[in-house]
Copies of this chain bind each other. A is one copy, B any other.
Amino acid sequence: MALVSIKDVARAAGVSDKTVSRVVNREANVHPDTMEKVERAIAELNYVPNLSARLVRTNQSRTIGVMTDLVSTTPYSGEILRGIHDWAKRFNKTVLIIHTGGDPEEEERAWRTFQEHRADGVIYATMFHRDAGLRRDALKLPTVMVNCFSSSDPDLPAIVPDDYGGCVGLIDHLLDLGHRRIAHVRLNPNLKAAHLRLAAYRDTLARRGIEVDETLVAEGMDGEVGKDLNVAFESTLALLKRDEPPSAIFCGNDEIALQVYCAVLSQGLQIPRDVSVVGFDDFQTVSKGLRPQLTTAALPYFRLGYEGAALLETLLGEHDVKGVSVMDCPLVSRGSTGAALER
């Protein structure tokens, strides 16, 4: 009943176990005839090697653990996992994912599970860009952080998106189109990205010689992350009803842009004729679903995962890997931005 083992193959082919092992692992020094005999037996018996048995002997699991704080859904961040899987497939590794929801007890269990499986290393991935607050002694295995970092130990290897740079690109784009009154509807201020994006907004305007009008900065959402209360619609209505309304609105992300669209359109205004709108994330269901489609900056979730896995591999290769790397958020120019009206 038990599955066929290397011994069954050996018997069928009339050779020793070791010879079968050689064929399976494509080792040198096997006579072509022997090889053929063995391969025929393998095919006939439908033999598939047992990875666990191999691991017991070699101690090489070729497995990486992935720990995420995923609870409900920040939809596209699942792309991080796809990036990791893609890398793993290419390099023939196994991926073991555990969603902990950020619960410390669950995380403790996850570390243990990774150890039980003798994972080579771990990717600690968060579903939004944040301080994971990890301490070196909490890591039971070599670890790379993805989409997060540790303020208490900044040397720990990490990869995060370049929120700041992406926003610079967006604001420059609007300025190049002639916009001078650019409003900002903010992300939830509990998010790291909210601060980076606001800073980039202010800095870029200043660099280009535009005075920052703080009354053009409005709240878009608030409350605990994931259960945020979204007020972007109301904030936008208020902005539009001002005496001197903005000619462009820079939204904290695409989800906010969605509400900004609803508000702008409900006032009988047109995008981009009356108001240009830019988002952030390139959350495609929204950014490509809106009419006109949304100009935004792409959060490189897939690459974050892929490069994170690659970085872990470097780390495991005993190379020194230190500190936080940053991934581009390229501008994606679509129909929601146009030249500012002459006044």
List B contacts of A284 (CB < 8 A). Answer: 73
Instruction: List which A287-335 residues lie within 8 A (CB) of chain B.
Output: 288-291
- Quick one: closest B residue to A1, CB to CB? B59
Say which residue of B73, B97, B259, B263 sits within 8 Å of A289 (CB atoms).
B259
The reply to whether B79 and A76 form a contact with Cβ atoms under 8 Å apart is no
The reply to whether B116 and A50 form a contact with Cβ atoms under 8 Å apart is yes
Q: In the complex, A286→B48 CA distance in Å?
A: 46
- Quick one: closest B residue to A236, CB to CB? B291
* Interface stretch (choices A35-43, A88-96, A175-183, A187-195): A88-96
Say which residue of B55, B73, B290 sits within 8 Å of A79 (CB atoms).
B73
- Does chain B have a CB within 8 A of A202? no
**Given A75-B76, A76-B73, A56 and B52 touching (CB < 8 A)?**
yes
List B contacts of A53 (CB < 8 A). Answer: 52, 56
The reply to whether A48 and B115 form a contact with Cβ atoms under 8 Å apart is yes
Say which residue of B3, B89, B290 sits within 8 Å of A262 (CB atoms).
B290
The reply to whether B118 and A3 form a contact with Cβ atoms under 8 Å apart is yes
Instruction: List which A61-120 residues lie within 8 A (CB) of chain B.
Output: 61, 70, 73, 75-76, 78-79, 81-82, 85-86, 89, 94-99, 112-113, 115-118
The reply to whether B289 and A230 form a contact with Cβ atoms under 8 Å apart is yes
- Quick one: closest B residue to A74, CB to CB? B285
The reply to whether B75 and A285 form a contact with Cβ atoms under 8 Å apart is yes
List B contacts of A230 (CB < 8 A). Answer: 288-289
Q: In the complex, A62→B284 CA distance in Å?
A: 37
**Given A270-B266, A291-B262, A116 and B51 touching (CB < 8 A)?**
yes
List B contacts of A128 (CB < 8 A). Answer: none
The reply to whether A289 and B286 form a contact with Cβ atoms under 8 Å apart is yes
Name the 8 nearest CB pairs between A and B, nearest first.
A75-B75, A265-B265, A78-B78, A52-B52, A262-B291, A48-B115, A52-B55, A233-B291
Residues of A within 8 A of B (CB): 2-3, 48-53, 55-56, 59, 61, 70, 73, 75-76, 78-79, 81-82, 85-86, 89, 94-99, 112-113, 115-118, 230, 233, 255, 258-259, 261-263, 265-266, 268, 270, 283-286, 288-291
Q: Sample 14 A-B pairs with CB under 8 A, ordered by A number.
A: A3-B118, A52-B53, A52-B61, A73-B79, A73-B82, A85-B99, A97-B97, A258-B285, A259-B290, A263-B291, A265-B265, A266-B270, A285-B285, A285-B286
Known: A52-B61, A52-B118, A73-B284. 15 other contacts (CB 8 A): A3-B59, A48-B112, A51-B117, A52-B52, A53-B56, A56-B56, A73-B75, A85-B98, A258-B290, A259-B289, A265-B265, A268-B268, A283-B285, A285-B285, A285-B286
